[in-house]
Structure 1
Amino acid sequence: MGTKILIVDDSELDLKLISTIISNNEPFRSIVTASDGEEACRQAVRHQPDLIILDWEMPGMNGLEVLRTLKKNELTSELPVILMSGVSFTDKIKEAFTAGVADFIPKPVNSEELQARSNAVLTNYANYKSLKDHANQLTLANLKNERILKSILPLPILLQIKEYGSIPPKRYKDCVAIFVDMVDFTPKTGKMSPGVLLRELNELFNGFDDVIDKHFCTRIKTVGDAYIAVCGMFYTPGNIEIEAASAAVKIREYIIERNKNSETKWEVKIGLYNGDIIGSSVSPSNLNFDIFGETVNMASRFQAMCEPMQINVSESLSKPLSQAYKLVTRVPRKVKGKGVMPMYYIHKPLKEIKKEEAVLMPAPSMQ
């Protein structure tokens, strides 16, 4: 595709002369002409030329006024302009370059000079457009990559990676780990098509995301049909235990409401356990953020020892939660590595729970 050049001059003879010089230089170039400033502005917007060759001395809008008008318009502000003048405007040339002119040619024009200056401006403009397109592509790629990273990494961790380029391990104190597992996942999905299965999980997990975001929790990851979140790692609500329990209760309520209109009826088992959690990436070549430690393992085991549509919590959580929820005491169960442990189900809220404000904790610094 050839370049397009707009030539503006109130002299019909000069229009034909300059058009001929430009065409002889590169026959495949497309020439557009205008005989006054207002028409030049309209043609520039319509045709988006690669170069505008503009006469300075014209009735009505002169060349400098046209140039300033073009530079104010977002659609034409970057188009390169060469000004021509048959009068000595030495004191005005600086003003023209300040206004954004790309080059200046005296009249009557010399054909070789016009060709050389036009070619130089066109080359510079082509290089500029190429660099701009490349920059736009990089920006789009960065935005796409950031969307992907935001979907797999907690925001504070993403900010840390941007600043430091890595995820050093850190101990997060006094957190609550939340494990959610779909009941009878394998039998229910055995006859589902891959598309239906992924659509179900996507809708379910997005629903869980909406809940935990409202309770200052953070989704860490999903593993198959398991959904893992933590309260207290990156946000500090007034009562971490109650926020975590509220998130679990709302997830259960979300499942109940969804089942009313869904062909596939789901049930969940939820386990909560509180304590310190270690967070980091497993390897320098893998940016996936993961959590480790006894608190994580115990939350998983409490979920496994839970009945469908119940929320199983530890004794250490029972006291703070008893202020807001009616708890059902379970028969103590033997837990691997811990012996026999008391367990409690969250039954229902005792009263309306007042929402607390939360503060986003800063990203971990490099140790």
Structure 2
Amino acid sequence: MTSPETARVLVVDDNEANRDLLRRRLKRQGYEAMVAEDGFRALELMAEHSFDLVLLDIMMPGMNGYQVLEKMKADADLRDIPVLVISALDDIESVVKCIELGAEDYLPKPFNPILLKARLGACLEKKRLRDQEKAYLEKLTIEQGKSERLLLSILPKPIAERLKQNPRTIADSFNDVTVLFADIVGFTKLWSRISPTELVELLNEIFSGFDKLAEKNGLEKIKTIGDAYMVVGGLPIPREDHAEAIAQMALDMQHRMAQFNRGDHEPFSIRIGINTGPVVAGVIGTNKFIYDLWGDTVNTASRMESHGIANTIQVTEATYERLKDSFEFERRGVIDVKGKGKMTTYLLLDRLPALP
């Protein structure tokens, strides 16, 4: 924001008497004034100092006022400085040329002191308003960036873009994805032994580590429910290797928990379940909306976790068939799954060595 107390004005004129006259008048009006005897020196000073207004003569040796204007408007750091041309050239062609080159205003010599004061005030007021608008737009950009980051922390980027363009119901069918559920075994029992703040901090540390693993493996975290974590591969952007990516995520989660358990706190176990198949994905809610999944594939993946064994990764036969050539498994056998009946399941152990 510019004001007489803070505004800095550069006087550019090859005539020493004119420079001194303008400098004295500017100082009497409360402005800080600097002078340059030619265009080259003016550009040097503009590179070294910040100016709110330039009073520019046209007829100067070496580099005339037109050339100074062209240089200023071609420079991103200088183009917004308003220029008031004060010149003995008073023909309409000169005035038009200065305005076309970007000058804010034009004042013929010899200038009227009252008119000069009015033009100075008008130019600086315009700059003040432009500065105010620029500051507002910068603040708005920052706030929009915050809103964008918040939105992307809730929704996948492609879904967020679709919602911004057309805020209507989003529901998509995906024929082939892999869903993972994980649960921290015995975590809720800690409620009676440690404070809620400590409990949430522990859970946040664990899940933040899982978030990084999901990002590393190119997977989409769907949600956390208490001490349970849900992630999916193959949507919203389909990918052929979604089962492999989820399997690697599961192994990485086990490794991450082993690292976490080396800390100075009670060790935890993790139980993981995985299933592959079709799902429906969409956004529900209007205020606190969420991107979620539905379908038998999701329910079965959840059952693989809840019917699993601590510190193991249990997968369905559908997932096993997709991964048996690249990962090592142990057949758990037939188990009774609530709501599903008898199912043959497998325990994921490790990734097989790559073939030479």
Q: TM-score, normalised by structure 1?
A: 0.84
Structure 2 vs 1, CA of residues 45 and 326 (structure 1 numbering), >3 Å: closer, same or farther? closer
String of CA shifts for 1:94-125, please: whole Å, max 9, x gaps: 43333221111110011232223222222222
Closer, same or farther: CA 130–353 of 1 in aligned 2, 3 Å: farther
Check whether the contact 1:154–1:220 (CA below 8 A) recurs between aligned residues.
no
Question: Structure 1: 5+ residue runs without aligned partners?
Answer: 355-367
Aligned to 2:289: 287
Q: Retained in 1: the 8 A contact 2:177–2:276?
A: yes
Q: Deviations over 1:26-79 (max 9, x none)?
A: x44333333333332233334422211112223443322332333333332210
Q: Match for residue 359 of structure 1?
A: none
Match of 1:178, SS?
Answer: strand
2:350 matched to which residue of 1? Answer: 348
- How far is the alpha carbon of 1:202 from its aligned partner? 4.5
Contact 2:190 2:199 in 1 (8 A): no
Letter in 2 for 1:56: I
Percent identity of equivalent pairs: 29
Match of 1:13 among 14, 17, 30: 17
Residue in structure 1 matched with residue 194 of structure 2 by the alignment: 191
Q: How far is 1:283 from its partner?
A: 1.3
SS in 2 for 1:61: coil
Deviation at 1:21, TM superposition (A): 4.3
Q: Is the 8 A contact 2:234 2:240 kept in 1?
A: no
SS in 1 for 2:73: helix
Over residues 183-212 of structure 1, what are the superposed CA-to-partner deviations in whole Å (9 max), with x where a residue is unaligned? Answer: 232355753683x65555444334333433
Partners in 2 of 1:60 and 1:324 — Cα distance? 75
Aligned residues: 350
Alpha-carbon distance between aligned partners in 2 of 1:271 and 1:167, rounded to the nearest angstrom? 30
CA distance in structure 2 between the aligned counterparts of 1:4 and 1:29, rounded to whole angstroms:
6
Between the aligned partners of 1:53 and 1:197, the Cα distance in structure 2 is 66
Change (3 A) 1:240 1:86: closer
Give the corresponding residue for 1:249: 251
| Residues 293-318 of structure 1, C-alpha deviations (whole Å, 9 max, x = no match) | 33222222221122221011123323
Q: How far is 1:269 from its partner? A: 0.8
Secondary structure of 1:274's counterpart equals strand
Q: Deviations over 1:136-165 (max 9, x none)?
A: 111111111111222221122112122212
Report if the CA contact (8 A) 2:315-2:346 is conserved.
yes
- What's the counterpart of residue 278 of structure 2? 276
**Structure with more relative contact order (C-alpha pairs < 8 Å, separation 6 or more):** 1
**Which residue is equivalent to 2:84?**
82
Three-state SS of the structure 2 residue aligned to 1:286 is coil
Structure-to-structure mapping, 1:51-70, within 5 angstroms: 51-70=53-72
Aligned partner of 1:159 in structure 2 is 161
Distance in 1 between residues matched to 2:201 and 2:40, nearest whole Å: 56
Q: Is the 8 A contact 1:50 1:122 kept in 2?
A: yes
User: Match of 1:114?
Assistant: 116
State the distance in 1 between where 2:145 and 2:285 align: 25
Tell me how far 1:272 sits from its aligned partner.
Answer: 0.8
CA deviation map 1:314-344 (0-9, x unaligned): 2332322323333223253333222233322
Deviations 1:232-260 (A, max 9, x none): 22233334333322321232233334545
Aligned partner of 1:181 in structure 2 is: 183
1:135 corresponds to: 137
Query: Are the counterparts in 2 of residues 217 and 235 from structure 1 also a CA contact under 8 Å?
Result: no
Indicate the RMSD between aligned Cα atoms, in angstroms. 2.8
Deviates more, 1:156-165 or 1:90-99: 90-99
- State the one-letter code of the partner of 1:209: D
SS at match of 1:332: strand
Amino acid at match of 2:21: L
- Counterpart residue type for residue 191 of structure 1: I
